[in-house]
Structures are given as C-alpha cells and as structure tokens.
Amino acid sequence: MTTSANHPAAGIKSASYADIRKALLEKREIALLDVREEAPFAEEHPLFAANLPVSRIELDAAARIPRLTSCIVVYDAGEGLAQRAAQVLASLGYLDVGVLDGGLDGWRAAGGEIFRDVNAPSKAFGELVESRRYTPSLSAQEVQQLLDAKADVVVLDARRFDEYRTMSIPTSISVPGAELVLRVRELAPDPKTQVIVNCAGRTRSIIGTQSLVNAGIPNPVAALRNGTIGWTLAGQGLQHQQQRRFSGVSVENRAQAAAAARQTADRAGVLRASEAQLQQYLRQAERTTYRFDVRTPEEYLHSHLPGFVSAPGGQLVQETDHSVPVRGARIVLADDDGVRANMTASWLAQMGWDVHVLDGVGADDWSASGWPAAMLPPQLAAMDASGLIAADVLAAGLARDGGQTVVVDFASSAQFVQTRIPGAWWALRSELKTALQNLPAARRYVLTSPDGLLARLALPEFQDLTAAEVFVLDGGTAAWVAAHHATDNTDSSGGAQFASPRIDRYRRPYEGTDNPAAAMQAYLDWEYGLVEQLGRDGTHGFFVI
C-alpha cells in the first residue's frame, strides 16, 4: 500500500484493487473490511470482504483481528464511513490500515468481481464441491415420497439448533454439520438406511452430505436439494419448534469416526500442531493465529482449552468470512474426540486456509469453563461514571417528566424488537446524525444497548450533535430488565419506533417461510451461478479432494 495524499495528517494509506488481488494470490495476510451495515454489504461486495460495521469496530475488532500489525483495508460505497473506520482502527493501535481506492465502485471499475449475500466464500465453495464431486441429492418431492411410504430413512438437519427449531423437515433430527460424522452411526446403525442431510438452502447440506461420503460411511447418503427453500417451493409443510436432537456415541462408533475423520483430514493436507508448537505460533509477531473449539456450545461452556473461542465446526466452515476475516491467517482447531476438528479442518484446508489440528492435549488441559470475558475497548476502560444513569432513576424520570426524556437504543434491530424499554427509539450509531433528526425533541436523551457498551461509545458522538442532556443507562437494557421494569416486545407494526433504517441485518431469503417465492428462487439461482463467478474472480485458491 502507498500513503494517500487524501489522508496525510492521519497517516492513513490507500490500497488499490491490484494491491489486494496480489496479496490474495500470494496468500499473504490481509483483512478487507466492508464497514457498512450488513444489509448493504450483502447487496454487493468482493469475495473475501468481511463485514465489520463502523458502528461496532471498537467492540469487535480485537476478537476478529487479533494482531495489531495485520494489513487491513477498509472500504464503503461512498457513504464516508471508510475514512472514519480507518481512523478508529488506527486509534485502537492497528498499524497498517488503508482505504480502498475508489471504494466499492473503484473495485468494480478495476475489474473486480462483485458477489452478494452473506458467507459468499463458503457458499461458492459448496457449489464448487457439488460440481466437482457430484454430491448426491434428492428433490423435496422424492424425500416426501420416502417419508409418506415410511421408508427406512433418517433426515439430519445440519444447521444450528435454533435454526432447526424455527422450521424443520418432518421427522428430521438436529445434527449440526460438524457432528454428522461423529453421530451418524448411532442415528443410522443399519447400513441400508437412507441418510438425508438438509439445511435451509444448499451449502450446509452439500458439505454435510459430502462429509459423510468422504468419511466412507456405508449408508446411502443424499442432500435434500435446495433445503427448506426447495421444500417450501414444492408446497410441502414444515414443522416448527421441534426438539429432536442427537444423543450419545458409543466407544466403538467414536473410534470408527475418529479414524475416518483423521484419514479425511490427511487427504486434504491438514497439518498437526502440538501445544508447544501452538505457543510458538502465538509468539510469531508476523502471523495471525486463530484458535477455535469446534465442539458444541454446551461442551464448550462445560470445559475448554484456555484461549480457544467457541466456533462449532459446521458454522465455522459456513461463516469463515465472519470468524476469520484475516485471509491468509493460520487456524488451529481443537476437540476432545478426534472427529470434529479433523472434519472441519478438512474443509478449511480445501478452502485455502493454513489449518492445523491440535494434537496431544490431555483431559487436564480442558481447564477453562463458561464464556470468556468480553474485551473492554480502551475508550470505555477510561470512561468515568459521570454520564451514567441508573435504571431506577430512569424509570422514575420517564414516569414524571411528560415525555421530556427519550430513550435511544443501539441494540441490533432484532434485539430491539424483541425486548426494549417502553417508548424507546431505535437508532444506528453509524447513522447517528440522520437518526437524531428523526427523534422527537427532548430535554434529555438516555442511550442504551443490551449491555450498555455500545451506548457508552455513542455518548460523545451524540453529545456533539445536540444541546440536550445525554446520559447512558448504566448496565444497559439488561440492567433495566434485571431491575424488573416493564419492557415492550411488539413487532415493528405494533409500536416499535425506528429513527434509522433497519439495515443492520440482511434478511436472508432462506429464513422463515414467509419470504416471497420469487425471492427464494432468485437466491437459488444465485447459488447456481457461484462456480462461474469463482472462475471470473480467480483469487479463491479452493481445491476439492
């Protein structure tokens, strides 16, 4: 990158499309960050761009980009967010921060391929796998016929359990992707049983099915073609709030699964790391090393290796752009069974990652429990309590001041709709100036967020835009709830008030059953075209075993 004349005072650099493409092809570490909110990011972005909205950089940067010397390039689509994001990253101590020349339009003008939706690298990879390995699949109608005939069939849902509960194929069992090879012999002990793997769309069912094929299970295996989208488009009913989950694994089946997973990982070129090697990696100032525990969240909460982050393997493969935004970084995976880490690593290796499985750790090494404490941004660590207001004080003020106090909530819009202080307004920190114009005039504004941290970050920015008093709810909305004050939870049509557009989250076409059929079909058509897009982009580095 070269120093830009546009940012001489801040020392911010500029980076061209050619710079970034060269880094990707040479497999050098680089984090290309789209600093807009998720919805506009999902509309159009480069293949390996990761979404890190400017509104959350202080809260999320340390966990997602752990090395301060990482090469970072930020961009927007002309909204003016990129320069602001670069300055925030520099204030956090990042030493190699640049802005993409011309932003997204510059990328496009230089010939860069534009992708859409979220998790585009993983979805494109899944389509490549199916095209190369002819992953077997059955249509929704064919699966329905098997179920109607009471055939010897088991349907395994490879999504997260919360997604499964939202909507599921009748009779299906929740078995998130990394669990499939470990659990399938318990769920289909007869080798004649037909195993069907589904997700909401295509990727996780393709990867899950191919995992079972790669691991050599004796059963016939097929993906449910197009997942619950295909099921819905076929006019077939889904179940809701189901609770069917996998159970335990016998010693014999665990051993078989471990051997198959290790063999699959070796075929993919997965590397091995001892604890001593891991410590050596972590001391390397020039490399980024991510550490992930790929077991279930419940297992992680019970015990895990210190320093490892919970990232269930199926979702890690699905969401590499979120979990590992530094392309070219090293990844170290751990489990306690030799199955889930190896199977997850086998896919990450094929996606071009430098991935290692941690070997040789004993039972005594799993010494941590619970979720790690959040890292407090330096701006908040230095903040005093003068701008804070207690939940009880806020409640009393709202009751007596006749609308002169307005609560502004910086939660995600989904969290806000689900639980909010009565009368509160929702706003995006990245759209604060516009949001303030949409808020009612007041003598006092009280800012909140789920834990209060994002609200505290917004405080000085809000104060700069108004002459009114501005406070932060101490402990955020969680403190309000803990104090047993009333909350609202109606949807946006029933009273929720929005001062900003709800662009913080992209509405996936595969979520729920109320999406227009045209939107679901358009999503499938987009997925079918991803292999061609990969060819035009030319930077992916994927291979398929």
Written as six digits, the tokens of 293 are 């525990």
DSSP assignment, residue 431? G
Q: What is the DSSP string of 271-318?
A: EEE-HHHHHHHHT-TTS-EEEEE-S-HHHHHH-B-TTPEE--HHHHHH
Reference 241, options 163, 179, 312; nearest CA is 163
| This prediction's pTM | 0.93
The pLDDT, as a whole number, for residue 377 is: 75
Mean pLDDT of the region 241-252 = 95
Tell me how far CA of residue 241 lies from CA of 162, 170, 238, in angstroms. 9, 11, 10
Domain 384-498 has CATH 3.40.250.10: yes
Q: Count the alpha carbons within 13 Å of 428 in the hemisphere toward its beta carbon.
A: 18
pLDDT band at 263 (very low <50, low <70, confident <90, very high): very high
Asked if residues 390 and 398 have their Cβ atoms less than 8 Å apart, the reply is: no
Identical fold for domains 124-247 and 263-360, yes or no, is yes
Q: 307 CB contacts (<8 Å, ≥6 apart)?
A: 291
Q: Which CATH class is domain 263-360?
A: alpha beta
pLDDT band at 141 (very low <50, low <70, confident <90, very high): very high
Mean pLDDT of the region 394-422 = 93
Sign of dihedral through CA atoms 120, 122, 123, 128? positive
Percent helix, percent strand, percent coil in the chain, to nearest 5: 40, 15, 40
Tell whether the model's pLDDT for residue 4 goes beyond 70. no
Tell whether the model's pLDDT for residue 121 goes beyond 80. yes
The phi-psi region of residue 384 (left if phi > 0; otherwise alpha if psi is between -120 and 50; otherwise beta) is beta
Mean of the per-residue pLDDT values of the chain:
93
Q: Look-up: residue for tokens 């999504």?
A: 159
Tell whether the model's pLDDT for residue 3 goes beyond 50. no
Sign of dihedral through CA atoms 50, 51, 52, 56? negative
pLDDT band at 493 (very low <50, low <70, confident <90, very high): very low
DSSP assignment, residue 2? E
Strand order of the β-sheet with 405-409 is 388-389, 469-473, 444-448, 405-409, 425-426, 497-498
Asked if residues 42 and 509 have their Cβ atoms less than 8 Å apart, the reply is: no
Q: Give 36-81 pLDDT, tens digit per residue.
A: 999 999 999 999 999 999 999 999 999 999 999 999 999 999 999 9
In the chain, domain spans = 2-118, 124-247, 263-360, 384-498
How many Cβ atoms sit within 10 Å of the Cβ of residue 108? 16
Written as six digits, the tokens of 217 are 């299970």
What is the dotted CATH code of the domain comprising 124-247?
Answer: 3.40.250.10
Q: Count the alpha carbons within 13 Å of 151 in the hemisphere toward its beta carbon.
A: 16
Q: Give 472-486 pLDDT, tens digit per residue.
A: 999 999 999 999 999
Mean pLDDT of the region 401-419 = 93
Q: Which CATH class is domain 2-118?
A: alpha beta
Q: 284 CB contacts (<8 Å, ≥6 apart)?
A: none
Asked if residues 444 and 469 have their Cβ atoms less than 8 Å apart, the reply is: yes
Sign of dihedral through CA atoms 61, 43, 535, 207? positive
Asked if residues 42 and 117 have their Cβ atoms less than 8 Å apart, the reply is: yes
Tell whether the model's pLDDT for residue 111 goes beyond 90. yes
DSSP assignment, residue 494? G
Could you give the residue ranges of the DSSP H alpha helices within 92-202?
Answer: 103-109, 120-133, 140-148, 161-166, 180-187
Q: Hey, is 174 helix, strand or coil?
A: strand
